[in-house]
Amino acid sequence: MTQLSVNLNKIALLRNSRGRDFPNVVEFARKFIGLGVPGITIHPRPDERHITRQDAFDLKTALADYPEVELNIEGYPSDDFLKLIEQVKPHQCTLVPDDPNQLTSDHGWDFTRHADELDTILKRIGDAGVRTSVFLDPDPEQVRLAAQSRANRIELYTEAYASAHGTDRQSEVHEQYRAAAALARELGLELNAGHDLDLDNLPGFLTIPEILEVSIGHVLTVECIEMGMPTVVNRYLDICANSA
């Protein structure tokens, strides 16, 4: 069964837009957990445009009440970010190759250029007792190189799949992800996935076997506004429960 991890970035963005602590990130984490969500994801950026460093500490404290719920912190591995990981010690740290000024994540790591750098970083995170995951395109060469690194998991960047969903390229692109996932499993890598997955395209994606976790935030937040949190969360949990 696939685990759903709800990304709280957009809740934090709404809060920051008004200059007061409403909506409260921890309170919304508790709401999602109360609906059965087993994972929480945050992506603190250097400019703290949404999630802040303090949010990371506050969530770590709050989630002590929910030992079954996983905290995943994703981000670019600057020294400040790595120090945050060492202090908070989330269950998982997902490394994303974002420029600080990027609007959102838009590509996976290139191990042909960054293998040595990433291995040093992955060792540092692993030494802190944190499971490691790296954001990756569904590229067989990159999967092979990631398997030679210290990464415990890869997170397949699913923008290409989401963009192709409902078009005549849907089957072709889905097969690229299926092949990359099969290769990763063969090489001993565990699998996560995320980016622009939603209620419409997620069921098809999760016909790929053994996706352990999907991280969903932006679209899920919009869907909650449209349909209500209980309806949306229950639909996601049902999809994940019926995954391959």
Q: Which of 43, 155, 174, 223 is catalytic?
A: 43
Q: Is 174 annotated as a binding residue?
A: no
Of 70, 165, 174, 195, the catalytic one is 195
Question: Residue 24 burial by CB count (10 A; 0-12/13-18/19+): exposed, middle or buried?
Answer: middle
50 is in an annotated binding site: yes
- To the query of whether residue 43 is one of the catalytic residues in this protein, the response is yes
Find out whether 204 is annotated in a ligand binding site: no
Q: Cβ–Cβ contacts within 10 Å for residue 70, how many?
A: 18
CB of 204 closer than 8 Å to CB of 174: yes
CB 1 within 8 A of CB 240: yes
The residues with which 75 forms a beta bridge, in sequence order, are: 95
Q: Is 27 a catalytic residue?
A: no
**67 upstream amide cis, omega within 30 of 0:** no
| Residue 91 annotated in active site | no
| Residue 7 labeled ligand binder | yes
**Lookup: tokens for 185:** 């499993």
Is 218 annotated as belonging to a binding site? yes
The answer to whether 198 is annotated as binding is: no
Ligand-binding site membership of 107 (annotated): no
Question: Position of tokens 């299926």?
Answer: 178
**Annotated binding-site residue numbers for 3-amino-2-oxopropyl phosphate:** 7, 18, 196, 217-218
**Annotated binding-site residue numbers for 1-deoxy-D-xylulose 5-phosphate:** 45, 50, 104
Which residues are known to be catalytic? Answer: 43, 74, 195
